[in-house]
Amino acid sequence: MQITVDLSRLLSELETLASFSDAPAPAVTRVVFSSQDLAARTYLRKLFSEVALELRTDAVGNTFARWTGSDPSLAPVATGSHTDAVPHAGRYDGTVGVLGGLEAIRALRRGGFRPRRSIELLVFTSEEPTRFGIGCLGSRMLSGTLSPEDARLLKDGEGKNLEEILRQAALNGSLENVRLAKGYYHAFVELHIEQGPLLECKGIPVGIVTAIAAPAALRVTIEGAGGHAGAVLMPDRRDAFLAAAEIALAVESAAKATRSADSVATTGVCNVFPGAVNSIPSRAVLEIDVRDIDLARRDGMLGAIRSACQTVTAKRQVRVQIDLINADAPAQASPLVTEALTQSCRALGIESMPMVSRAYHDSLFLSRIAPTGMLFIPCRNGVSHRPDEYAAPEDIKRGVQVLASVLAQLAQ
């Protein structure tokens, strides 16, 4: 079967999707359930309906577009990714897996392929942690990793809870119905940009993911004492921001201390209250991201950060509360999918290499309920979560070809 990718159509859809943004181009900001995210969802549903895919949206907003196979009693093969984007991001993270998945389905149809298993395209809700502090909200719930009860406790930065936000987005279903049983899918495969430099450096067009690193996130709230920036003398201060600054430095040290290049830790959020130049900060809230491909080493970093918090508490006479947002295990890709990917690359004459994903993805959670794998395509200079994120059209095309071929293999 000939797989012909309609690249100009796919690129124009990526461009249109990027226009649903709260930041001026080339930046993309699309936070889950913002008006831009809702408009993007409407656009996607229209595209899915144009190819007569059967649509379903669950209570947390995960969207499913199904091409029914000749034997609908068999577990479907699934693909997909996310379309929410972190503040000031680019246009390819997640979207290549969603629109590329759609183009893979269209290409298979054009080629006259008729799947035995249904092929389902998924758009996951809130892979990015921007709004609720926790990543992969939709796939976490699908896989049963986040219970409906715990999901109901989630609040955004304005204190609005998840269910209230879902109702405003006209999602009125029961969160109890989101979870899918193990075995619901025969396999799941996600196409994504690498978000790192290896493929580009090695000049290899496709990466076959063997494992996904273990992510964790902490929220650290520091309460000190506010006051007048002129009147309170330095020895009398309990400045919450300075305590936060010491903790942020300890986060960096925790990652460096492992002496492993696979250990990374980032303080990406620091909110200071009351936020006036002439007021001493009374409260600071940090959000900290910690990852490693080795679970014990990742947990070691979390421990080091906790003990640094204790030291800072005593030294600066502040109160520190640590909330663990998530601490996930790494995922291993399934041989069913990695072998299918290897075979498809070989059949298409596309060079590939095995690699670890240091970023997390919805695949991390899909792997809990289905044989899962991912394929990566290069992105320029390894840049992601930045407006200058870029994937070359030819690389996107090759990724879609491989994805289509793998879906066909797995759905036969």
Residues in contact with Mn ion, shown as a per-residue x/- string from 1 to 40 under the rule CB under 5 A: ----------------------------------------
CB 100 within 8 A of CB 400: yes
Which residues lie closer than 8 Å to 96 by C-beta, 6 or more apart?
14, 81, 191, 192, 193, 377, 391, 396, 399
User: Which of Mn ion, ligand GLV, none does 113 bind, CB closer than 5 to 8 A by kind?
Assistant: none
Q: How far is the CB of 341 from ligand GLV (least distance, A)?
A: 21
Q: How far is the CB of 356 from ligand GLV (least distance, A)?
A: 13
Position 128 contacts ligand GLV (CB under 6 A):
yes
Q: How far apart are the C-alpha atoms of 384 and 382, rounded to whole Å?
A: 7
Nearer to ligand GLV, 67 or 132 (CB): 132
Which residues lie closer than 8 Å to 100 by C-beta, 6 or more apart?
10, 191, 396, 399, 400, 403
Q: Please give the residue whose beta carbon sits closest to Mn ion in the complex.
A: 94
Residues in contact with Mn ion, shown as a per-residue x/- string from 64 to 103 under the rule CB under 5 A: -----------------------------xx---------
Q: How far apart are the C-alpha atoms of 390 and 396, rounded to whole Å?
A: 10
In this structure, the dihedral spanned by the alpha carbons of residues 159, 161, 162 and 164, taken in order and rounded to 10 degrees, is -120
Query: Please, what is the end-to-end C-alpha distance for the chain in angstroms?
Result: 13
Q: Report the Cα 94 to chain-centroid distance in Å.
A: 7
Q: How far apart are the C-alpha atoms of 66 and 54, rounded to whole Å?
A: 5
- Sort 349 into a burial class: Cβ within 10 Å, 0-12 / 13-18 / 19+: exposed
Position 216 contacts ligand GLV (CB under 6 A):
no
Please report, for residues 223, 258, 294, 305, 319, the alpha-carbon distance to residue 301 in angstroms, rounded to integers and kept in the order given: 23, 8, 11, 6, 21
Both tokens assigned to 310: 């204790």
Nearer to ligand GLV, 75 or 211 (CB): 211
Residue count at the site for Mn ion (CB under 5 A)?
Answer: 2
The binder of ligand GLV chosen from 360, 365, 376, 390 (CB under 6 A) = 360
Q: How far is the CB of 359 from Mn ion (least distance, A)?
A: 6
Q: Residues 81 to 120: which contact ligand GLV by CB under 6 A?
A: none
- Sort 149 into a burial class: Cβ within 10 Å, 0-12 / 13-18 / 19+: exposed
User: Which of ligand GLV, Mn ion, none does 239 bind, CB closer than 5 to 8 A by kind?
Assistant: none
Nearer to Mn ion, 93 or 120 (CB): 93
Q: How far is the CB of 207 from ligand GLV (least distance, A)?
A: 15
Q: How far apart are the C-alpha atoms of 365 and 140, rounded to whole Å?
A: 6
Q: How far is the CB of 193 from Mn ion (least distance, A)?
A: 8
Q: Which residues pair with 207 in a beta bridge?
A: 353, 376
Which residues lie closer than 8 Å to 366 by C-beta, 6 or more apart?
78, 139, 142, 143, 185, 188, 190, 372
Residue count at the site for ligand GLV (CB under 6 A)?
Answer: 4
Q: How far apart are the C-alpha atoms of 368 and 394, rounded to whole Å?
A: 32
Q: How far apart are the C-alpha atoms of 340 and 408, rounded to whole Å?
A: 10
Position 359 contacts ligand GLV (CB under 6 A):
yes
User: Which of Mn ion, ligand GLV, none does 207 bind, CB closer than 5 to 8 A by kind?
Assistant: none
Q: How far is the CB of 93 from Mn ion (least distance, A)?
A: 4
Q: How far is the CB of 279 from ligand GLV (least distance, A)?
A: 33
User: Which of ligand GLV, Mn ion, none does 360 bind, CB closer than 5 to 8 A by kind?
Assistant: ligand GLV
Position 376 contacts ligand GLV (CB under 6 A):
no
Q: Please give the residue whose beta carbon sits closest to ligand GLV in the complex.
A: 359
Q: Residues 14 to 73: which contact ligand GLV by CB under 6 A?
A: none
Q: How far is the CB of 203 from Mn ion (least distance, A)?
A: 23
Q: How far is the CB of 360 from Mn ion (least distance, A)?
A: 8
Residues that bind ligand GLV (CB under 6 A): 128, 135, 359-360
Q: What residue ranges bind Mn ion (CB under 5 A)?
A: 93-94
